[in-house]
Structure 1
Amino acid sequence: MRAVKNLLVLYTGGTIGMLQTPQGLAPAGGFEARMREHLQQLADAPLLTWRLHELTPLIDSANMQQGNWLAMREAIVEAVERDGHDGILLLHGTDTLAYTAAALSFLLLGLPVPVLLTGSMLPAGAPDSDAWDNLCGALRLMATGIDNGVQLYFHGQLLHGARASKLRSEAFDAFATLPRERDGQRVETIPACLDYRQPCQPVNLMVLPVFPGLQVGHLRGLLASGVQGLLLECYGSGTGPSDDQDLLDALHDARQGGVLIAAISQCPEGAVHFDTYAAGSRLRDTGLVSAGGMTREAALGKMFALLGTGLDVQAAEHWFALDLCGERAQ
């Protein structure tokens, strides 16, 4: 752990900096002036040098897309390698905050500085807002010392970037780390093909929950759209409709056609263990790879980073099954 001396605050939009418009709250620029004014009024303001960069266009995080993740990655790498910043504080909306934290955890593997994400449930300046508490708390962590890697700070909690999930839509303690099983073998050295300097491209991904009534036509129609990676949200320990041979054949054909298909558990406290039930084993035998106890956010972000670097399905499956940054193992 080390104190950050030259911080970049990367403002992407979100509730924390929103202002009221006739249509409702919307992202607004000029947040640096508001932030400096607030800090100047604090007797115990965090002591560190910082500058703020607005990533345009500012967005409500409900509009988050892969292109926004790649723009964040590019801005962060440029800030570190060109401008000499030794820490990044990313201000972000809460709707997709956990997804972005997970995606950046894999897009920035090996980056030698801490990246901390935060936001708020109410805009800065609103009565009883949590915005300044979250922002100042994050700044204090940076000023006193924080480990390298991607983390999320919210309501006094410091959470692993690839383990956090949003559990509540209104309460200030909206984010938590779910008690999901850790089962992966940790990679000792990040390979060059996954290093943060590696270019990444958008990927056609899809998340599909298993549910009573899922039909093979649904799956084949989805796969016909050119999906490169499919995250299948299974029941319990990784089960699904294993007596539907047409559905199993569709999964097998997709895997043979080069689609990465991974399974996670729908349960908030769960993990995939295909061999527990025959219904799980039959799914595994179609070519699914287990995400173990990873969250949806982590599994999707990892799939995006692996396939986005151009890895083929066999290589992507290999690295997906291993722990790259703490998403699968302690």
Structure 2
Amino acid sequence: MAQSDVYSIGKLGQKWGPEEKSAWLNLQSIKRSYCDEVVSKIEPLKANFDVEQYGALSYDVEKYPLFVVKSRDWDNSKPTVLVSGGVHGYETSGVQGALRFLETKALRYCDKFNLVVAPCVSPWGYETINRWNPNAVDPNRSFYADSPAEESAGLMAMVASLKLDLNQSLMAHIDLHETTDTDNSEFRPALSARDAVVHDNWNIPDGFYLVGDSENPGDDFQTAIIHAVEKITHIAPPDEDGRLIGVPFSQRGVINYATKALSLCTGFSDASYNTTTEVYPDSPRSDDENCILAQVEAITSGLDFIIQERGL
């Protein structure tokens, strides 16, 4: 039986309905604390940044407030940069990488950019170590009008509230992700069962890579990040077919997706420069700290490239 044929919920060949989604939700449990591991690190940032609550998840509004951290003294003459982490809550280094950037590197860029950092878009997913939200919806396929994922809708509404005009749209959007072995042990089988589809590609790249936008690839921007990050961690090699997760390379360490068509996070923001990072903490050549440092390097090298190219 194929790897995609096996899952504990649902019937083979039948999409999930409310009963199956409820059964899936009943299997989820809290495994770590959003308050202890994320919110507690946001609070000290108030000394140097403006911290705002832009919403709360209806699953538990007290437990899951949503925060954005902004550079102080907002200046409309500066370009604005969005960094998002934890769109998939289980991807730990995305959340912790965004926080580490704020703790250690962000201040040096505040004279050049208005920084907007949403460290954990999906706090329920963070606590339960999940790719989906409680409704079995993937937030990173839900960045469109009338989104079924309140995590995605909340981030889009927050960015809209910045009221950036056509001449002041986002300069850059860097979305921090990671891939873990649970993609194959849990998330891809669950996706196959939920949608009654067969997944033929079970490749997990061993190393760091980027996902650009096929409509706005920003090749030089991606190249600069890859060159910087490879000093921190290894870059994912091609698979046996010369691809990465079944997609042809745009360049070494980079593939491109149609981010808008797929309703990915970087697709909604219309940023001049955009990229999605992917690290692999389960690699024998990496660890959690290395992945956090790689995320920080991806942000800073991207910003350094923009400063140089735009003469900021």
* Structure possessing the higher relative contact order (Cα contacts under 8 Å, 6 or more residues apart): 2
TM-score of the aligned structures, taking structure 1 as reference length: 0.27
Question: Which structure would you say has the larger Rg?
Answer: 1
